[in-house]
Structure 1
Amino acid sequence: MALATACAVIFGTADFFGGLATRRSRVLAVVVCSQLGGMVLVLALLPFLPGVASTGALLWGMAAGVAGGLGIVLFYRGLAAGKMSVVAPITATTAMAVPVLFGLIVGERPSAPAMSGVALGLLAVLLVSREPGGTGRITLGPVLNALASGAGFGGFFILLKLAPADAGLWPLVGARIASIGLVALLALATRRSMRPAPGTWRVTIAAGVLDMAANVLFLLAAQRGMLILVTVLVSLYPASTLLLARYVLGERLSSLQIAGVVSALGAIALIAAS
């Protein structure tokens, strides 16, 4: 489970850099350029982590890329129409719950301590995703967007897990091709610029490289362990994002978010000990 835990830390760091980039640049430009940076990394790693470049590997990866790309689009659409305090926790918990349910359906049976860690992990994600002071009326549209977005992210994890075991990193190549193409088409259809603002290139590329590094760790972890446990550990990544925001940017955490970070640590301990 060390790979999955490291993946969560790196995912959270990638989100932190991505958040810095989107504060100063266009969202779609950040997404496209960061994913191009990630593509460069995975292509560079292919000789060191070789696999069979089969049609199945690329197709499962492309399906995962479409699911993840749609998840991103729906997530931002939900944020535009609703409250962050509603959309984010629903998306995060759905993204974790979908692979957990799939794992149970296909016959994965973690130990009792591990399942306790899964339950604690779900609680942790719900708490750390809460926006401090979030209030306001909940409307159906943003909730449905959040559920669909979470299902897209969860589908990304499931589809990568279903790729052939001997595929190496090729599913991630397929995933990046599909997701970059999807977001680029969206940018062209909406006539949005895909050029990051001046001064944001470094942080944008850093976000993409870290995101791909985390994807590589997830794929390696999923090839070796249960989808349920790997996904739960990986989904705890918002805790590391929060800690970076606290100690690098000086942002204050709410009591619920602090409780979520503590719950995340407890979940990691329970799953690691099982």
Structure 2
Amino acid sequence: MTAVILATVCAVVYGTADFFGGLASRRSQVLSVVALSQIAGLVLILALLPVLPGMFGGLALSWGMLAGLAGAAGLALFYRALATGVMSVVAPTTAVTSAALPVLYGLATGERPGFWALAGVVLALGAVLLVSQDRSADRTGSVGSALIALAAGAGFGGFFILLAMAPADSGLWPLVGARMSSITTVALLALLTRRALRPGAGSLHIILAAGALDMAANVLYLLAERQGLISLVAVLVSLYPASTLLLARKVLGERLRGIQVAGVACALGAVALIAVA
């Protein structure tokens, strides 16, 4: 039950971080938002190290750095897919792939969730598909953008799997390694593309909030994964688009389509099924 609670809260925090990141991206260049939010996350995780101590070691940092590279690659591919395709294809493809890979990994390594938990997994994957539908996009996405979206989802799924492979007694050190490698990757990308990382006017506080929330969600994921099965935790975490939608409805006044409301309902049902399993 502890893992279910942590993973569900993690999904809410991830969705909130994405909401703030989306707001910031309307005022600043995407690369600036990514770089500065990543730095904010690193500051937070360094501050949390004394609170949630763990065993420092090269193995923890190594797995974390690999996870950070996978996550950074996933993010770059995700934005590339959005640039060449449509959200209604890219978002659900990426989200479901990022959830499905940890499920397959968990099953392959011997995890055996109960019947109702598996039913919750199926319902959760369906919920991600429903809530990710974009009402403003057409349906003419290219095959190329769909393939890039699959690769982006693989990057995000790899981030979850690689973090789970770090030693259980390593505390938050894997996240330190992940953030170090992702910041380095983004900085090199900015250098190669000769893009300034200066944030737009009035956006810095939003970017910092997005980075802090994203790292808080990473911490919650790591704690949840150590308490439960990755095949269930990662699926619950993948429900984060539901909280982004609800925030957009509450704060920005955006209207939800019927299919998205059904997706939110399915997400709640999935959490309930996994919790009682």
TM-score, with structure 1 as normaliser: 0.99
Per-residue deviation, 1:184: 1.2
After superposition, give the CA deviation of every residue in 1:95-130 in whole Å (9 maximum; x if it has no partner): 101111111111110010000000000000011111
Q: Could you give the per-residue CA deviations for residues 169-197 of structure 1, whole angstroms, max 9, x where no partner exists?
A: 00000000011111111111111111111
Match among 234, 237, 244 for residue 231 of structure 1: 234
Distance 1:5 1:136 in 2: 31
Classify the secondary structure of the residue corresponding to 1:16: helix
Within a 5 Å distance, the mapping from 1:144-223 to structure 2 comes to 144-223=147-226
Structure 2 match to 1:242: 245
Written as runs of structure 1 = structure 2, the 5 A alignment for 1:5-24 is: 5-24=8-27
CA distance in 2, matches of 1:160, 1:4: 15
The corresponding residue for 1:48 is: 51
C-alpha distance in structure 2 between counterparts of 1:95 and 1:145, whole Å: 13
Could you report, residue by residue, the CA deviation over 1:231-267 in whole angstroms, capped at 9, with x for unpaired residues? 0111101000000000111001111111110000000
Of 70, 91, 102, the match for 1:99: 102
Rounded Cα–Cα distance in structure 2 between residues aligned with 1:97 and 1:180: 26
User: Take 1:137 and 1:49, find their aligned partners in 2: how far apart are those partners?
Assistant: 47
Partner of 2:121: 118
Whole-Å Cα distance in 1 between the matches of residues 84 and 137 of structure 2?
Answer: 15
Deviation at 1:224, TM superposition (A): 1.2
Specify the code of the residue in structure 2 equivalent to 1:117. Answer: G
* Separation of aligned partners in 1, 2:41 and 2:140: 38
What's the offset of the Cα at 1:204? 0.3
Which consecutive residues of structure 2, in runs of 5 or more, have no partner in the other structure?
A: none
- Whole-angstrom CA distance in 2 between matches of 1:97 and 1:195: 36
Separation of aligned partners in 2, 1:138 and 1:193: 31
Greater displacement, 93-102 / 128-137: 128-137
Structure 1 moving runs of 4+ over 6 Å: none
Q: Confirm or deny that 1:3 pairs with 2:9.
A: no
Q: Which deviates more, 126-135 or 248-257?
A: 126-135
Structure 1 distance, partners of 2:91, 2:33, is 19
| 1:269 maps onto 2:275 in alignment | no
User: What is the CA distance between 1:133 and its match in structure 2?
Assistant: 4.1
Which amino acid counterpart does residue 227 of structure 1 have in structure 2? I
- Aligned partners of 1:138 and 1:46: how far apart in 2? 44
Q: Could you report, residue by residue, the CA deviation over 1:6-39 in whole angstroms, capped at 9, with x for unpaired residues?
A: 1011111111100000011010000000011111
3-state SS of paired residue (1:262): helix
TM-score, with normalisation over the residues of structure 2? 0.98
1:134 to partner: Cα distance: 2.8
Distance 1:193 1:147 in 2: 29
Q: Percent identity?
A: 64
Letter of the 2:262 counterpart: A
Between stretches 185-194 and 174-183, larger displacement belongs to: 185-194
Separation in 2, partners of 1:121, 1:273: 15
SS in 2 for 1:24: coil
Q: Is it true that 1:72 corresponds to 2:82 in the alignment?
A: no
Cα distance between partner residues in 2 of 1:85 and 1:246: 18
Aligned residues: 274
Tell me the distance in 1 between the aligned counterparts of 2:189 and 2:229. Answer: 34
Deviation string 1:26-81 (CA, Å, 9 cap, x unpaired) is: 10000000011111110000001001110000000000000000000000000001
Could you list the per-position Cα deviations for residues 178-232 of structure 1 after superposition, in whole angstroms to 9, with x for gaps in the alignment? 1111111111111111111121010000000000000000001111110011001
